Amino acid sequence: MDFIQKTQGIVLEAPRVICAILDWMVKVVERLLVLGVAWMAFFFGYHFCRGSLPTSQREVIEFVAQNWKIVPILMIPLFYQTVRTFLEEVQEAWGIKRTPKQVLPTEAAVLPNLHASAELPSAPEEEE
């Protein structure tokens, strides 16, 4: 009986461990992707400013210039979580995090109580 309880505990913990590992992997891959794209942008910019672009890099720049709509379509989903996390950390660090709006007592009295159980209107009784 003790063995069965131990194995059930392991089975219940396995999904949590797998989810934690996958979350960690997603965070690492997102940050590596951001660093890779930033490095590539600086690399292309550096060679562009020096005027020493090889033909392969020129072709890549021409392709992106002609198909620029692909860039935002790919960048928004790829960097959404990373940028959002970064902005939240900056807000906390600089002390500009927004607090939820407080409802004043006068407003609370005027607003209807949505959580109270209200009776539904019944159909008018028919007279005989």
pLDDT for 8: 57
- Residue 75 inside a domain? The answer is yes
- With cut-offs at 50, 70 and 90, classify the pLDDT of residue 54: confident
* Domain total of the chain: 1
Handedness of CA 69, 73, 79, 81 (dihedral sign): positive
Q: Which two tokens stand for residue 117?
A: 């159980």
- Residue 66 inside a domain? The answer is yes
Give the CA diameter of the chain: 98
126 pLDDT more than 70: no
* Closest listed residue to residue 79, CA positions, set 22, 36, 34, 29: 34
**SS3 state at 123:** coil
- With cut-offs at 50, 70 and 90, classify the pLDDT of residue 57: confident
- Residue 109 inside a domain? The answer is no
- Residue 123 inside a domain? The answer is no
- Residue 36 inside a domain? The answer is yes
- Residue 114 inside a domain? The answer is no
- Residue 33 inside a domain? The answer is yes
pTM for this entry: 0.46
Residues spanned by the domain of 77: 9-96
Q: Which two tokens stand for residue 76?
A: 């928004």
- Residue 2 inside a domain? The answer is no
Task: Please provide the size of the chain in residues.
Answer: 128
6 pLDDT more than 80: no
- With cut-offs at 50, 70 and 90, classify the pLDDT of residue 66: very high
